[in-house]
C-alpha cells in the first residue's frame, strides 16, 4: 500500500460576524492563521493549503505561497468548512488524500497531539475519520430547555454529579478524514466510528468573541514567558 498523502487545510474566510477580520487578528505578534500554519509546518505535512478569499493572506509575502483562492461560493456567512473540503474532493488527483482541518481560531495546539497520525498509528486502525474532543464543561443533563415561556429540565437533572458519566464535546482543534469520504459525511467532517483524539490540556479556547481573543492573548503571552 502506498503512503497516504496527509494534507493540512487551514480555512481562513475573510469575513466574520463576531470579530472584524478575525483570522487576521494577532496573538503574540502573528495572526491566527500563522499560528495554524506554524503548527502545520512543524508537523511536516505533505502539503499545506490555506483556503482563503482574504487579500491580506493572498498577497502576504510569507503566507501567500500556501494560499488557494477560495471560490466565492464558499466565502459567504452560510458556507461551512465541509463545503470547502467537498470542493477539493472533486479533484481526481486528490481522491486518496487525507485532509487534516486546522481551524485558526482554536487554541492551544501542540504537535504531540498528532503523533498518532504522523507515526502511522491512525492508519493501522483502519479508521476513516478522527476528531478532537475535550471534557464537556457542563453536564448535559443539567441543562434546561426554554419552551413556550417555561423552563423544562432534563429528567435526570437532580442526580448527584458523580453519577453522571464523563462527557465530551468536539473541541475544534483537529478534524481528519479521507477526502473521498466527504460525499458520505457532508455536512459533517467525521463519522461515529471515528478515532477520538482526547485533548487533555487544561486550557481550551475557541475564539468566537473579543473576550475569547483577549483571553487567548493573555494565556499565550504567559506560556511564552514560561
pLDDT digits (tens, 9 = 90+) for 132-146: 999 998 999 999 999
CA distance to 48, 93, 97, 184, 220, per residue, from 45 (Å) = 7, 17, 11, 25, 24
C-beta of residue 100 within 8 angstroms of C-beta of residue 8:
yes
Strands 195-198 and 129-135: parallel
Q: Backbone phi, then psi, for 111, in 5-degree steps?
A: -55, -35
Q: What is the pLDDT of residues 23-46, one digit of tens each?
A: 999 999 999 999 999 999 999 999
DSSP symbol at 86: H
pLDDT at residue number 78:
85
Element (H, E) at 173: strand 168-178
How many beta carbons lie within 10 A of that of residue 14, not counting itself?
17
Q: Nearest CA to 175 among 214, 133, 204?
A: 133
Where the chain has pLDDT below 70, the residues are 1-2, 224-226
Q: Give the bridge partners for 30, in sequence order.
A: 27
pLDDT at residue number 225:
53
pLDDT at residue number 200:
87
Which numeric CATH code is attached to 6-132+170-221?
A: 3.90.550.10
How many beta carbons lie within 10 A of that of residue 43, not counting itself?
19
pLDDT at residue number 161:
85
pTM: 0.92
Q: Nearest CA to 40 among 100, 123, 129?
A: 100
pLDDT at residue number 221:
80
Element (H, E) at 223: helix 210-225
Amino acid at each position: 500500500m502506498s503512503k497516504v498523502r496527509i494534507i493540512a487545510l487551514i480555512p481562513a474566510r475573510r469575513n466574520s460576524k463576531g470579530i472584524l477580520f478575525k483570522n487576521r487578528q494577532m496573538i503574540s505578534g502573528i495572526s491566527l492563521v500563522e499560528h495554524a500554519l506554524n503548527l502545520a509546518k512543524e508537523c511536516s505535512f505533505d502539503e499545506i493549503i490555506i483556503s482563503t478569499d482574504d487579500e491580506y493572506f493572498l498577497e502576504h509575502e510569507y503566507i501567500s505561497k500556501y494560499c488557494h483562492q477560495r471560490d466565492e461560493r464558499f466565502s459567504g456567512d452560510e458556507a461551512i468548512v465541509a463545503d470547502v473540503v467537498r470542493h477539493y474532493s472533486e479533484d481526481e488527483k486528490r481522491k486518496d488524500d487525507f485532509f487534516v482541518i486546522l481551524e485558526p481560531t482554536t487554541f492551544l495546539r501542540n504537535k504531540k497531539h498528532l503523533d498518532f497520525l504522523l507515526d502511522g498509528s491512525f492508519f493501522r486502525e483502519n479508521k476513516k475519520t478522527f476528531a478532537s474532543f475535550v471534557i464537556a464543561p457542563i453536564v448535559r443533563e443539567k441543562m434546561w430547555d426554554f419552551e413556550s415561556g417555561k423552563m423544562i429540565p432534563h429528567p435526570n437533572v437532580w442526580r448527584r454529579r458523580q453519577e453522571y458519566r464523563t462527557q465530551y464535546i468536539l473541541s475544534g482543534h483537529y478534524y481528519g478524514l479521507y477526502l473521498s469520504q466527504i460525499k458520505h459525511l457532508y455536512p459533517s467532517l467525521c463519522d461515529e466510528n471515528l478515532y477520538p483524539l482526547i485533548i487533555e490540556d487544561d486550557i481550551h479556547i475557541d475564539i468566537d468573541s473579543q473576550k475569547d481573543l483577549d483571553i487567548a492573548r493573555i494565556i499565550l503571552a504567559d506560556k511564552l514567558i514560561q
